[in-house]
Amino acid sequence: MSHLVFDAVTKTFQSRTGPIPVVEPFDLEVAKGEIVVFLGPSGCGKTTLMRMVGGLETPTTGAIRLGGAVLGKPDRRRGMVFQSYSSFPWLTVEENVAFGMRYRGDLGAAEKRDRARHFLGVVGLTEFAASYPNRISGGMRQRVAIARTLAAGSDVLLMDEPFGALDAQRREQLQVELRRILEADAKTIVFVTHDVEEAAFLADRVVVFTRRPARTLALVDVTARLGAHRDLETRDSRAFFELRSELLHLVRSTAEDT
Amino acid sequence: MAGIGARVPVAGIVFGAALVALWEGAARSGLVAPLFLPPPSVVLATLVEMATSRDLLYHAGVSTARVWTAFLIAAMMAVPIGILMGSYKLAGRSLEPTIDFIRYLPVPALVPLAIIWFGVGEETKIFLLWMGTFFQLVLLVADDVRRVPHEYGELAATLGAPKARALADVTLPAMLPTLWDNMRVTLGWCWSYVIVAEIVAADSGLGFVIWQARRYFKTPEVMAGVIAIGIIGLLTDQILRALHARLFPYLTR
Ligand SMILES: Nc1ncnc2c1ncn2[C@@H]1O[C@H](COP(=O)(O)OP(=O)(O)O)[C@@H](O)[C@H]1O
Ligand SMILES: [Mg+2]
């Protein structure tokens, strides 16, 4: 069953020097609970496409639908996790997570507190509940952002290179953790990256984009080749190795042709 | 947390003390006429005398009250208006040119106009101080708002915050530390303006004290008055800095 549907979505920015087409007609149907990774060279239009899902940009033509209804302004159904400024520095870790429910009238104060603590536990930050974001590591800050979006009860998580600023080891650790969290609490995820390895490890499906304007170069079904369960061993498997080089070739082919 | 003492480096104290010693020496040697440069010991004694057996503290209180009244009025107007200007493009574009122009009007040049409008009462001083701070502060606030990372507002929006709520819940706390600093600096400017206002149109306040003393060439009193302003300014600034650390503990690692 399709959950999130891109229906011939395009985006053209107007600039002083004329129109800049950034996204060419894009079609995709994402199933509920699926992790789709947008992979492509820097500046190709991945962020723009994701921001349109979040309601932070409007498609020039076409439409994005969630559960059948056309998406408009931002709301709680689509939660964002940014690469930087992903948490509010003036709130503690727990308050940051609770902020995800701040505008929810359907939960009482006690319920909100319990949920905040629950999701802090899910991302393994219980002991840092009272810390401020600048006193924890960058990786922990991203986990705070993930917990906040989960607590908000978003149907779709939009993650724009959330691990891009972390060192390789932390990044791998968080990728494993993200898959683990989602195995317990299935969410539809659109995850943007330009890191081939990250795409191969996290995705159920990878959309490989061309350089700007973004066009679908390839749609790769990862779960069909690696299975749904991923852990540290996945990276050592032959299937993973082949998948990674295949994605790498696709990305290189579009990065080079000029 | 670093106290006032810890923030003043030893080298700074040594340099200050050396300068005072040099001044004392120059004044006592008779190289400079005491009318121009009374020794610091005399100035200090005068200051103590003015504070204990005359009404220096009253005048200091009057000036402080004027500064804070005008500053609070200016701040209470500048913060909401500045936030609107910084977050709604239309508000910013329509108000900015006018405010930018008024901001460049030198406060002393407005004194005659203020006297014509308000006479020589309290209104004149408050008006002058307000003129000097409001227009500066409102632009600083608008800039602070624009410097808040847009991600914060977008986060709030994707969590279901209406725009007005996002301004209060996210934009304001995000800019508060810089706002605090800008207010601290602007408050300092208020002290220059209050002296100007009190010199030309007042019968109380530290500016009045200094100007009266000048008429009778009581140089130690003039200097004592100036130093009193310096002390109040320094103390206020240190208190506001210390509060900054208290209010924004999340900034320190
Ligand atoms: N608001 C905007 N106005 C004009 N051009 C923009 C705007 N936002 C993004 N772009 C341009 O669109 C292109 C794609 O940007 P982006 O979606 O951020 O790429 P990616 O995330 O793939 O690196 C870039 O060339 C960028 O300069
Ligand atoms: Mg991007």
Q: How far does A92 lie from chain B, in Å, by closest CA?
A: 8
- Separation of CA A43 and ligand 1 centre (Å): 6
CA A12 to chain centre: 22
CA distances from B162 to A130, B166, B194 (A): 27, 6, 42
pLDDT reported for residue B239: 93
* Interval A11-45: pLDDT, tens: 999 999 999 999 999 999 999 999 999 999 888 99
Picking from A56, A90, A160 by the largest number of B CB atoms within 10 A of its own CB, the best residue to mutate is A90
C-beta of residue B207 within 8 angstroms of C-beta of residue B195: yes
Q: What is the mean pLDDT of residues A150-169?
A: 90
Whole-number Å distance between alpha carbons of B159 and B157: 5
Whole-number Å distance between alpha carbons of A93 and A87: 8
The sign of the dihedral angle between the CA atoms of A102, A107, A113, A118 is negative
C-beta of residue A30 within 8 angstroms of C-beta of residue A190: yes
- Give the total number of structural domains in chain A: 2
Which string of DSSP letters, residue by residue, matches B183-246?
HHHHHHHHHHHHHHHHHHS-SSSHHHHHHHHHHTT-HHHHHHHHHHHHHHHHHHHHHHHHHHHH
C-beta of residue A45 within 8 angstroms of C-beta of residue A212: yes
Report yes or no for ipTM above 0.90. no
* Interval A108-152: pLDDT, tens: 899 999 999 999 998 889 999 999 999 998 889 999 999 999 999
pTM: 0.85
- Separation of CA A205 and ligand 1 centre (Å): 23
A145 and A191 belong to one structural domain: no
Of A154, A186, A213, at which residue does a domain stop?
Answer: A154
Q: What is the mean pLDDT of residues A84-108?
A: 93
A68 and A165 belong to one structural domain: yes
A163 and A225 belong to one structural domain: yes
Whole-number Å distance between alpha carbons of A125 and A141: 10
Of A119, A154, A189, at which residue does a domain stop?
Answer: A154
A54 and A162 belong to one structural domain: yes
Q: Which band of pLDDT confidence, cut at 50, 70 and 90, is reported for residue A55?
A: very high
Give the ligand at the shortest distance from the Cα of A44: 1
In angstroms, what is the C-alpha Rg of chain B? 22
A150 and A164 belong to one structural domain: no
Tokens of A249: 């070739």
pLDDT reported for residue B1: 45
| Nearest atom in ligand 1 to A160's CA | 21
Of A154, A187, A208, at which residue does a domain stop?
Answer: A154
The enclosing domain of A33 has a CATH number of 3.40.50.300
Q: How far does B160 lie from chain A, in Å, by closest CA?
A: 5
Which of A54, A102, A135 faces B158 most closely, judged by CB atoms?
A54
Which of B158, B165, B176 faces A74 most closely, judged by CB atoms?
B158
As to burial, measured by CB atoms within 10 angstroms (0-12 exposed, 13-18 middle, 19+ buried), residue B165 is middle
Query: Which residue puts its alpha carbon closest to atom 20 of ligand 1?
Result: A43
Which residues line ligand 1 at a C-beta cut-off of 6 Å?
A: A 13, 15, 20, 22, 40, 42-48, 212
Q: How far does A212 lie from chain B, in Å, by closest CA?
A: 23
Its domain, for residue A33, covers 1-77+156-170+178-258
- Separation of CA A160 and ligand 1 centre (Å): 13
In chain A, which residues have their Cβ closer than 8 Å to the Cβ of B251? Answer: 89, 134
Whole-number Å distance between alpha carbons of A218 and A209: 7
A64 and A132 belong to one structural domain: no
Query: Which residue puts its alpha carbon closest to atom 3 of ligand 1?
Result: A13
Give the ligand at the shortest distance from the Cα of A164: 2
Whole-number Å distance between alpha carbons of B13 and B251: 28
What pLDDT tens digit does each residue of chain B (253 aa) get? 445 555 667 888 899 899 999 989 988 888 888 788 888 899 999 999 998 888 999 999 999 999 999 999 999 999 999 999 999 989 999 999 999 999 888 888 888 899 899 888 889 999 999 999 999 999 999 999 999 999 999 999 999 999 889 999 999 999 999 999 999 999 998 988 999 889 887 889 999 999 999 998 899 999 999 999 999 998 999 999 999 999 999 988 7
B251 close contact with A: CB closer than 8 A = yes
pLDDT reported for residue A37: 96
Domains and CATH numbers, chain B: 38-251 (1.10.3720.10)
A61 and A164 belong to one structural domain: yes
In chain B, which residues have their Cβ closer than 8 Å to the Cβ of A80? Answer: 154-155, 158
In what side-by-side order are the strands of the sheet with A2-15? A18-31, A2-15, A61-66, A69-70
A144 and A230 belong to one structural domain: no
The interface residues of chain A toward chain B in range 60-79, judged by CB-CB distance below 8 A, are 73-76, 78-79
| DSSP alpha helix (H) spans, chain B | 4-7, 10-28, 40-52, 56-87, 89-103, 107-118, 122-147, 150-158, 163-166, 172-200, 206-215, 219-247
- Separation of CA A81 and ligand 1 centre (Å): 18
pLDDT reported for residue A117: 94
A56 close contact with B: CB closer than 8 A = yes
A80 contacts B155? CB cut-off 8 A: yes
pLDDT reported for residue B211: 92
B173 close contact with A: CB closer than 8 A = yes
Q: Which residue has the tokens 């007042």?
A: B202
- Separation of CA B171 and ligand 1 centre (Å): 25
A160 and A236 belong to one structural domain: yes
pLDDT reported for residue B119: 86
A59 and A165 belong to one structural domain: yes
Say what angle helices A168-184 and A138-152 make with each other, to 10 degrees. Answer: 20
A127 and A254 belong to one structural domain: no
Closest chain A residue to B251, measured at CA: A134
A63 and A93 belong to one structural domain: no
